[in-house]
Each structure stands twice: as structure tokens, then as C-alpha cells.
Amino acid sequence: MKTDQQTTPVFLQTVSVAIAQLKQRLQQDYEQAYPDLREIVHLVLDEEEGKAWELSLFPHLLLPDLVEAHIEKLNLQPVETKHDDIFAPPQFNEIPAFALCG
């Protein structure tokens, strides 16, 4: 049986991979919609990723909404994103639910 010490790094690595993939997809979506604002989009994504990590151990669940809200504050229209596959990568099935508690 895996202990919390063994499971925690795997969990954090899995979440880190998920958020990196999500950020990449969001970057592509927003760059496609606003090609002249590439650097601003990058800054928004980095800032909101930091906030998402502060708010939750599941930052990939919060990031799209945080980015959308930030984009709206810049008087830009949020883009349609469809990245449901990134929210629960297959690796999460390998981590027992009880290991996430505590």
C-alpha cells in the first residue's frame, strides 16, 4: 500500500502536468483570438496560475475561469475553450481516493 509520502509527489506531478497542458491550450486559444496580445496572454496565464495554486490543490479546475475573468477585466471577450479532457487526466485513476484525504 502506498503511503501519503509516496502518493503526494505523484499527485502534485500529475496536477502540474495537467495545468501545464491546460495553460498551453489556453495560450493557443487566446493567441488565435488575439494574435497581437501574445505576451499579455502569457502574463495573464502566469498570474492566474499562481492564484489558482493559492486557492486549491486542483488549480487546473480554477484556471480557465480565472483567466476568463481577467480577460474580461481587460475589456476583451473570452474565447470558447473546450478542454474537458485536461481536467481529469488518466493518471488520476492511478491515485487511490483515500490517499488524497488527510
Q: What type of residue is 74?
A: L
Q: What are phi and psi of 47, to 5 degrees?
A: -65, -45
Residues of the chain under the 50 pLDDT cut: 1, 86-87, 102
- The residue among 96, 87, 93, 80 whose CA lies nearest residue 18 is 87
Q: How far apart, in whole angstroms, are the C-alpha atoms of residue 53 and residue 20?
A: 12
Could you state, in order of their start, the residue ranges of all structural domains in the chain?
4-78
pTM reported for the whole predicted model: 0.72
Q: What is the pLDDT of residues 45-57, one digit of tens each?
A: 999 999 999 999 9
Neighbours of 2 (CB within 10 A): 13
